[in-house]
């Protein structure tokens, strides 16, 4: 057999083996069972009342602010307080040189004793003249003079007592005390400085920050629109004292303590068109400091018959349009465009695109094909202390279909 004949036989053999292998794999592929429809977690949509929440910018302010000022003039001898710490009302903060004021107290005490001695002598003379007049021994003029002298001496005693009280008050003022309880800032004067009672400079600043105020603003137009919606019956106004107010930090975390709305100003700022509102928050751990920028979430109305969906069920197209999957009556997944409103914790409020009674796919969205069969299973939200699985919000329906 020639070499060319052997080569042709080898090629024919290899071709036959390839055809046999292809036929075998095609047969196996035809015999492989089809993939079952994916199981998905679905939520039966129900209409319920939801609050209309506004998120507004605000700043923290102390509930009480007091400047520490001297009430008497003198040389500052000692600073007692620790800067940046909490002080209580009545605590001694500074001490002013008190020697001159002690001398004045002693002088006032001596003047009082002299006035009391004069009064006692005038009282004796008055009693004597009274007795002599009753016996018709003394004239009426002597009795009148004794009476006037007694009255003058009693007035001198009262004047001396008032001078002593003033001297004691001024001596007590040499200890500068905290007018309110709160956090005291840095010392604005040092030992050895001369302080005056009629000066404009203060010695320190005390701020009461438990509780604290949060002043925030809202557009007058938004406020009017809310009130108009309430008056037209589209929204309901919460009962007095039931409107919840929460605080959110810059990093997105929510302050654990709930606040209460105190008032809304009756005028609009002509430069900004904003209305100022004020809320009060407990601050037992001094997490909120005056001047801190925060955001306020306030429930200003209630929307009846609203539909909310978990945020994890929402898909976004490449142009950012929100979409969701719902389960049709024939068990297929249908892609639906929705219009979203405000966010409530982990949910979205749906303004249009869904209705009560429909089945929304929440879990397993990544396994769903448009118009594909699915096996719906009831879905329940996980507990807050359990880690949440990654949401499907970043995937587009086109990418999933592929």
Looking up residue 386, the CATH number of its domain turns out to be 2.40.420.20
In a shared domain, residues 195 and 78: yes
235: which residues sit within 8 A by CB, 6+ positions away?
A: 52, 226, 229, 301, 302, 303
Reduced to 3 states (helix: H, G, I; strand: E, B; else coil), residue 191 is coil
In a shared domain, residues 149 and 253: no
In a shared domain, residues 153 and 252: no
Along the 402 residues of the chain, how does pLDDT read in single tens digits?
A: 555 566 666 566 656 656 555 555 555 545 445 678 888 888 888 888 877 777 888 999 999 999 999 999 999 999 999 998 899 999 999 999 999 999 999 999 999 999 999 999 999 988 888 888 777 776 778 778 888 999 999 999 999 999 999 999 999 999 999 999 999 999 999 899 999 988 788 899 999 998 999 988 888 777 777 777 667 665 566 665 556 788 989 888 889 988 888 877 767 877 888 888 888 999 988 889 999 999 988 877 777 778 888 888 888 888 888 988 888 888 888 888 888 887 777 888 888 888 888 888 888 888 888 888 888 888 877 665 444 444 444 444 444 433
The H or E element spanning position 101 is: helix 99-134
Q: What is the dihedral of CA 310, 312, 318, 320, to 10 degrees?
A: 40
In a shared domain, residues 116 and 187: no
Please provide the distance, in angstroms rounded to a whole number, between the alpha carbons at the two ends of the chain: 56
In a shared domain, residues 225 and 326: no
> Do the domain assignments include residue 27?
no
Q: Are 248 and 57 in contact (CB under 8 A)?
A: no
| Prediction pTM value | 0.63
Give the HSE-up count for residue 7: Cα atoms under 13 Å, Cβ half-sphere: 3
Instruction: Please give the structure tokens belonging to residue 138.
Output: 């003394």
From the centroid of its chain, how far is CA 401?
45
- Per-residue pLDDT at 223: 74
Q: Helices 140-173 & 99-134, crossing angle to 10 degrees?
A: 160
247: which residues sit within 8 A by CB, 6+ positions away?
A: 214, 254, 255, 257, 259, 281, 288, 294, 295, 296, 297
- Per-residue pLDDT at 313: 86
* Cα angle, residue 341 at apex, residues 335 and 346 outer, rounded to 5°: 80
Give how far Cα 380 sits from Cα of 40, 363, 393, Å: 12, 10, 18
- Per-residue pLDDT at 20: 57
In a shared domain, residues 156 and 188: no
Residue 346 CA to residue 311 CA, distance in Å, equals 6
Q: Which of 251, 274, 302 is the last residue of a domain?
A: 302
User: Sign (positive/negative) of CA torsion 227, 230, 236, 240?
Assistant: positive
In a shared domain, residues 224 and 294: yes
> Do the domain assignments include residue 8?
no
Residue 61 CA to residue 273 CA, distance in Å, equals 22
Burial class (CB in 10 A: 0-12, 13-18, 19+), 94: buried
Instruction: Please give the structure tokens belonging to residue 229.
Output: 């919606």
Tell me, what DSSP letter sits at residue 366?
Answer: G
- Per-residue pLDDT at 390: 46
Q: In residues, how long is the chain?
A: 402
Number of domains observed in the structure of the chain: 4
In a shared domain, residues 140 and 168: yes
> Do the domain assignments include residue 275?
yes
In a shared domain, residues 363 and 381: yes
Q: Which of 255, 271, 302 is the last residue of a domain?
A: 302
Domain extent for 237: 52-62+208-302
Q: Which of 302, 329, 359 is the last residue of a domain?
A: 302
- Per-residue pLDDT at 381: 77
In a shared domain, residues 91 and 188: yes
Residue 147 CA to residue 123 CA, distance in Å, equals 8
- Per-residue pLDDT at 389: 46
Tell me, what DSSP letter sits at residue 312?
Answer: G
359: which residues sit within 8 A by CB, 6+ positions away?
A: 42, 43, 44, 45, 326, 327, 376
> Do the domain assignments include residue 112?
yes
Question: Where in 99-158 does DSSP place strands (E)?
Answer: none
> Do the domain assignments include residue 10?
no
In a shared domain, residues 219 and 138: no
Q: What CATH number corresponds to the domain at position 131?
A: 1.10.287.470
- Per-residue pLDDT at 93: 94
- Per-residue pLDDT at 386: 45
Residue 129 CA to residue 142 CA, distance in Å, equals 7
378: which residues sit within 8 A by CB, 6+ positions away?
A: 41, 42
Residue 188 CA to residue 200 CA, distance in Å, equals 12
> Do the domain assignments include residue 225?
yes
- Per-residue pLDDT at 13: 60
Q: What CATH number corresponds to the domain at position 268?
A: 2.40.30.170
> Do the domain assignments include residue 34?
no
Residue 117 CA to residue 217 CA, distance in Å, equals 69
> Do the domain assignments include residue 22?
no
Give the HSE-up count for residue 341: Cα atoms under 13 Å, Cβ half-sphere: 17
From the centroid of its chain, how far is CA 274?
20
In a shared domain, residues 194 and 74: yes
């Amino acid at each position: 057999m020639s070499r060319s004949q052997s080569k042709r036989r080898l090629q024919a053999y290899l071709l036959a083996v390839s055809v046999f292998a292809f036929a075998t794999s095609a047969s196996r592929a035809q015999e492989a069972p089809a993939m079952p429809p994916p199981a998905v977690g679905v939520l039966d949509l129900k209409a319920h009342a939801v609050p209309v929440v506004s998120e507004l910018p605000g700043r923290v302010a102390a509930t009480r602010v007091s400047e520490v000022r001297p009430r008497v003039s003198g040389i500052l001898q000692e600073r007692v307080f620790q800067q940046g710490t909490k002080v209580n009302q009545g605590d001694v903060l500074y001490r002013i040189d008190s020697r001159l004021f002690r001398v004045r107290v002693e002088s006032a005490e001596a003047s009082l004793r002299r006035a009391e001695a004069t009064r006692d002598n005038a009282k004796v003379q008055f009693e004597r003249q009274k007795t002599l007049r009753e016996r018709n021994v003394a004239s009426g003029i002597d009795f009148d003079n004794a009476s006037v002298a007694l009255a003058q001496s009693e007035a001198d005693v009262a004047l001396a007592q008032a001078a002593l009280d003033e001297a004691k008050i001024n001596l007590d003022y040499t200890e500068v005390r905290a007018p309110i309880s709160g956090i005291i800032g840095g010392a604005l004067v040092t030992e050895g400085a001369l302080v005056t009672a009629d000066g404009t400079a203060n010695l320190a600043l005390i701020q009461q920050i438990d509780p604290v105020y949060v002043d925030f603003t809202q557009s007058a137009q938004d406020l009017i629109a809310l009130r108009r919606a309430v008056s037209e019956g589209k929204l309901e106004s919460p009962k007095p004292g039931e409107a919840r107010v929460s605080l959110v930090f810059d990093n997105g975390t929510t302050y654990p303590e709930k606040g209460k709305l105190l008032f809304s100003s009756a005028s609009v700022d002509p430069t900004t068109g904003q209305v100022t509102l004020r809320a009060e928050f407990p601050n037992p751990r001094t997490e909120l400091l005056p001047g801190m920028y925060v955001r306020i979430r306030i429930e200003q109305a209630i929307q009846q018959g609203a539909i909310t969906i978990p945020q994890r069920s929402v898909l976004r197209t490449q142009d950012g349009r929100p979409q969701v999957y719902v389960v049709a009556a024939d068990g297929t997944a249908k892609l639906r465009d929705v219009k979203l409103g405000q966010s409530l914790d982990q949910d979205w409020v749906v303004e249009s695109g869904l209705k009560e009674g429909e089945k929304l796919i929440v879990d397993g969205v990544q396994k769903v094909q448009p118009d594909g069969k699915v096996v719906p299973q009831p879905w329940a939200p996980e507990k807050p202390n359990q880690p949440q699985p990654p949401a499907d919000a970043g995937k587009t329906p086109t990418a999933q279909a592929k």
